[in-house]
């Protein structure tokens, strides 16, 4: 791999021990994946921000980097942590976990991270543009950066993101390279379906496309102009877990793919798939093992809810009470929670019996309950091993399930 004079200076310790460690990790990674050179990146989103993901060895590395005096060279945002920093006691998180998460948070902030603690940094906190090279972890965020913003990022692993923020570089492989961004499979959903899709339907579409495309680049025709950011968020999250899609060309949305021809750069698709309504219905059934809409836990916010989702939820819950034997949990960022609280939405949700949790991911919330309902295709799929039964339904249906007996 070609290294510039600056890359070599970072590698051989001229910029301190932290930069030397970070560069050695990135150079090894580049060699493993056949990178030809290092790229300068302008922004990093750090997935390895939760103690629960990186554990003691990760914490030790981050603290060592911090104690060496390393600072982030580029703006860096943080994915959810293992705790809600205000409510961890109430949520019954063990104090040893909280103590280690606080240590990790302190080290990351000292190096210069913006404490966004969200998996939707593109909605609150991150500032990226079309054509920029960035270095993002968290699969839904990677999908969103590539697909919706048109920035370029590979799918970063935990701690490679921290290393990247320290040196402002990442090896040039995968989705940074033009040839790996070409569309490969054309998906054609029906116009009639797309016109009626809600946010959950976009998740189901993403899951279906991901399960066929796997790691290839899907091109999707017909996405309406009025698709919302929250719908695109659901699509990207589910495409990444249905397969491992890091870039979709949603024609008319993705900046580098205004048309189907743009997405394929004039070449022919490897495959062309017309998506039938019943195929999406089968996908919905695959994501739903819950026999009736009477779950123990209802969880929204995977990826984190936006202000718009929180205010909509508040409108749906106004004047209603969540059933005593149901836990309604909503995951969001601290930024969105603060804004929604100013609008009165958090109070409305919580006075109905819901709980709005910030800074963290449902993976770290000690749920009590055997059955789950969610509006998120990603969460439905990923949580199947944790619950006896999992159901998927849009926000309206989740609210109905939460309050039905008390209306």
Which stretch in 122-130, 210-218, 286-294, 355-363 sits in contact with ligand F3S by CB under 6 A?
A: 355-363
Q: Which is nearer to ligand F3S, 27 or 239 (CB)?
A: 239
* Of the residues 242, 303, 353, 354, which one makes contact with ligand F3S according to CB under 6 A: 303
Q: Does the footprint of ligand F3S cover residue 362 (CB under 6 A)?
A: yes
Strand ranges inside 7-68, DSSP E:
38-40, 44-46
Binding mask 304-323 for ligand F3S (x = CB under 6 A): x-------------------
Q: Which is nearer to ligand F3S, 140 or 200 (CB)?
A: 140
Which stretch in 3-11, 82-90, 184-192, 298-306 sits in contact with ligand F3S by CB under 6 A?
A: 298-306
Q: Based on C-alpha coordinates, what's the Rg of the chain?
A: 21
How many residues line the site for ligand F3S (CB under 6 A)?
A: 13
Which stretch in 6-14, 156-164, 258-266, 301-309 sits in contact with ligand F3S by CB under 6 A?
A: 301-309
Binding mask 133-152 for ligand F3S (x = CB under 6 A): -------x------------
CB 333 within 8 A of CB 358: yes
Catalogue the long-range contacts made by 229-232 (C-beta closer than 8 Å, 24 or more residues apart): 229/123, 229/148, 229/306, 230/199, 230/306, 230/308, 230/309, 231/197, 231/198, 231/199, 231/202, 232/144, 232/147, 232/148, 232/202
Residue 92: Cβ-neighbour burial (10 angstroms; 0-12, 13-18, 19+): exposed
Decide: helix, strand or coil at residue 344: coil
The C-alpha atoms of residue 295 and residue 371 are separated, in whole angstroms, by: 5
Q: Does the footprint of ligand F3S cover residue 331 (CB under 6 A)?
A: yes
- Minimum distance from CB of 238 to ligand F3S (Å)? 10
The C-alpha atoms of residue 308 and residue 311 are separated, in whole angstroms, by: 5
Q: Does the footprint of ligand F3S cover residue 361 (CB under 6 A)?
A: yes
Which stretch in 88-96, 217-225, 256-264, 359-367 sits in contact with ligand F3S by CB under 6 A?
A: 359-367
Binding site for ligand F3S (CB under 6 A): 80, 119, 140, 237, 302-304, 331, 361-363, 378-379
């Amino acid at each position: 791999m070609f290294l510039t004079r600056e890359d070599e200076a970072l590698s051989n310790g001229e910029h301190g021990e932290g930069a030397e460690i970070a560069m050695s990790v990135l150079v090894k990674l580049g060699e493993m994946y056949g990178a030809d050179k290092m790229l300068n990146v302008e922004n990093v989103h750090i997935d390895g921000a939760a103690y629960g993901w990186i554990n003691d060895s990760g914490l030790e590395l981050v603290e060592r980097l911090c104690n060496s005096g390393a600072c982030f060279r580029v703006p860096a945002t943080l994915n959810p942590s293992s705790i809600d920093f205000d409510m961890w006691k109430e949520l019954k998180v063990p104090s040893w976990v909280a103590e280690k998460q606080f240590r990790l948070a302190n080290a990351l902030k000292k190096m210069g991270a913006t404490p966004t603690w969200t998996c939707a940094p593109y909605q609150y906190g991150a500032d990226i543009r079309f054509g920029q090279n960035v270095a993002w972890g968290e699969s839904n965020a990677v999908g969103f950066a590539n697909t919706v913003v048109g920035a370029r990022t590979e799918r970063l692993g935990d701690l490679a993101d921290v290393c990247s923020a320290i040196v402002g570089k990442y090896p040039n492989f995968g989705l940074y390279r033009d040839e790996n961004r070409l569309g490969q499979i054309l998906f054609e959903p029906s116009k009639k379906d797309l016109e009626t899709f809600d946010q959950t339907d976009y998740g189901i579409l993403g899951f279906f496309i991901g399960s066929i495309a796997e790691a290839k680049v899907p091109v999707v025709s017909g996405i309406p102009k009025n698709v919302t950011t929250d719908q695109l968020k659901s699509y990207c999250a589910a495409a990444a877990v249905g397969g491992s899609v890091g870039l979709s060309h949603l024609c008319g949305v993705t900046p580098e793919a205004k048309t189907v021809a743009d997405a394929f750069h004039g070449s022919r698709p490897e495959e062309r798939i017309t998506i039938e309504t019943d195929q999406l219905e089968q996908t919905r059934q695959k994501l739903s093992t819950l026999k009736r809409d009477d779950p123990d836990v209802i969880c929204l916010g995977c990826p984190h809810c936006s202000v718009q989702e929180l205010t909509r939820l508040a409108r749906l819950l106004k004047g209603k009470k969540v059933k005593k034997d149901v836990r309604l949990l909503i995951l969001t960022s601290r930024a969105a929670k603060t804004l929604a609280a100013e609008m009165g939405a958090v109070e409305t949700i919580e006075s109905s019996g819901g709980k709005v949790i910030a800074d963290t991911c449902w993976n770290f919330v000690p749920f009590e309950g055997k059955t789950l309902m969610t509006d998120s295709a990603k969460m439905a799929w990923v949580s199947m091993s944790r619950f006896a039964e999992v159901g998927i339904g849009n926000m309206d249906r989740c609210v109905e399930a939460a309050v039905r007996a008390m209306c």
